[in-house]
Amino acid sequence: MSNVTDASESKGSHLVRQIGLGSGIAVVVGSTIGSGIFKSPSGIAEQLPGPLPMLAVWLVGGLIVLCGALTLAEVGGAYPYSGGLYVYIREAYGRVAAFLFGWAQLVLIRPAGIGAVAVVFGQYALKLAGVNEGQHGYELWTAVLSIGAIGTVSVANILGVRFGTGIQNLTTIAKTAGLLVLILLALAVGLPKSGGHFSPPVPAGSFSVSMFGLALVATLWAYDGWADGSFVGGEMLNPRKNLPKAILFGTLIVIGVYMLANIAYLSVFSVKEIAKSSIIAADTMSQLVGTLGVTFIVATVMISTFGTLNATVLTSPRIFFAMAEDRLFFSALATVHPKFKTPFVSVILSGSLGILYVVAATAMSGSKAFGALTDAFVIGVVPFYALSVGSVFIFRGREKKRVASLETDSTSMADSLVDPVTPGHLETHHHAYSPTVHTPLFPVVPLVFIASTLFLLVNSLLDKDSRNPTIITLAIVAIGTPIYYATIARRKS
């Protein structure tokens, strides 16, 4: 870290605004709808073996995410810059908290997210080729295909933002259409045939607060990606209007699709049957239209996970780029390709770390690599989501004080306006907070989100099975504090 230099010295260090509203929504939807809706329902049904509890946890997860999205729509409209959550955390809490966010993203959150989605892509690619779990070489070929997918999307996102967003638009349309086909077939064919499996709504032993909390971890993994649009705010056209719209519209689309997908599963199978199926979408299509349906949904999952992988590799480097401009990471990470206008060094770093996590998780966990990666991702990211959403209180309070001070000192309003992301600035810059939209039902909405994340963390610490992984994950995040003071803080002094 001691080699970090002023990012403003790097040549061509400015990204170009070229992402429209449609592509912004595609980034949110594409980042979110990936492997979760295809992999998570079985584990959730096992923890909450009743139709109503199973549907309720998906709805609650969606409402929690919506509370976060409504809040970040306000904050993002005021700070529409590359780096998204990093910028909000830095402006609200300062450089140490911002560094911790970047540290967690670097060593845990983003590599785990990239690795988990890539693993699912590899598994479904093998299934399409007729290779099933348990066969010789299955884990090795899963890793090979996962690494190949990461390499492909990394190259695509180096070649240009329009290339990357073009892939995103196509895969988002394809995956959403595939899910809608499954939903329509289940409701039109499966539901009339079976009558659905919605009764009894809450069987004995199908609900407990602890199990609901653990199931919520899986749903929040499936919903994760709702905030990813914020990371490309610095490259969006008319960002103060389009960024909030992309976050909100994208989140609402995902919630609707997820609820309908779970209703579709219950239209064909009972909760107990869903719990036994690790590939519930494929089993649903097999039940509805046979082998052809399985091939269709397996291809849909491949496209879905590839699109999510592309979105993650598109958004992740913008975090490291923004941090490098602030001289919190190596200055090379703020380098923009002179021809393609992409942060290619940060893209290479993100892809390389994702590959490293695939290799490590496969070696340590084998076929359980997906679960190991997703648990680490969720526990590592939720504290920073809470901080980002909580920043709205700080910004509103700071704005009241700033306005009062201006009125008292008769200071020009214009004098206080400072671009908070000027490359090379060492401190936060508290400028006029002027969002284009405001959080409805404030302060209830952000408080609901923050309370939910606290419940999730406490529940994970209290549960004996998840306690140790949770402590390890949080410890990895906390290690960033002494690293900051041993490197960045010392360099400043």
Q: b vs e for 430-455, b when ≥16 Cβ sit within 10 Å of the residue's Cβ?
A: bbebebbbebeeeeebbbbbbebbee
Q: CA torsion 25→28→29→34, rounded to 10°?
A: 160
- Between 236 and 13, name the one with better pLDDT: 236
| Residue 303 located in a structural domain | yes
What does the pLDDT read at residue 45?
94
Q: Which of 296, 266, 327, 253 is nearest to 99 (CA)?
A: 327
How far is residue 49's CA from residue 312's CA, in Å, rounded to a whole number?
A: 32
336: three-class secondary structure by DSSP: coil
Please check whether residue 216 lies inside any domain of the structure. yes
Q: Establish if 482 belongs to a structural domain.
A: yes
Contact 309, 110 (CB under 8 A): no
Distance CA 148, CA 359 (A): 12
Q: Is 316 left (phi over 0), alpha (psi -120 to 50) or beta?
A: alpha
Per-residue model confidence (pLDDT) at position 64: 94
Task: Establish if 305 belongs to a structural domain.
Answer: yes
Whole-angstrom distance, CA of residue 101 vs CA of residue 385: 10
User: Which are the contacts of 303, defined by CB distance < 8 A and separation ≥ 6?
Assistant: 171, 174, 175, 178
Ramachandran angles phi, psi of 353, nearest 5°: -65, -35
Average pLDDT for residues 408-434, to the nearest whole number?
52
How large is the average pLDDT for residues 360-383? 67
| CA–CA gap between residue 266 and residue 197 (Å, rounded) | 5
Structure token digits, residue 189: 């064919």
Q: Which of 440, 17, 436 is nearest to 241 (CA)?
A: 436
- Report which DSSP code applies to 235: G
Tell me the pLDDT tens digit for each residue of 3-12: 433 333 333 4
Residue 66, domain extent: 7-409+416-492
How many domains does one find in the chain? 1
* 58 pLDDT above the threshold of 80: yes
Answer whether residue 2 is part of any domain. no
Q: What's the pLDDT band for 154 if we cut at 50, 70, 90?
A: very high
Residue 353 domain-assigned (yes or no): yes
Percentage of the chain lying above the pLDDT 90 cut:
43
- More confident position, 371 or 229: 229
Q: Give dist(CA 40, CA 279) in Å, integer.
A: 9
Contact 124, 302 (CB under 8 A): yes
Question: Which CATH number fits the domain that encloses residue 113?
Answer: 1.20.1740.10
Q: Are the CB atoms for 349 and 333 separated by under 8 Å?
A: yes
Distance CA 64, CA 69 (A): 9
Name 254's Cβ contacts closer than 8 Å, sequence gap at least 6. 28, 29, 32, 33, 62, 65, 223, 225, 226
Tokens of 227: 């905030």
Q: Decide: 89 and 387 in contact? Cβ < 8 Å.
A: yes
Residue 386 inside a domain? The answer is yes
* Residue 1 maps to a domain: no
Joined together, the tokens standing for residue 74 give: 């306000």
Greatest mean pLDDT among 35-39, 229-233, 391-395, 436-440: 391-395
Paired with 236 in beta bridges are 19
Overall average pLDDT of the 442-468 stretch: 89
| Res. 340 pLDDT band, cuts 50 70 90 | confident
List the single range of 32-36, 155-159, 197-201, 303-307 with lowest mean pLDDT.
32-36
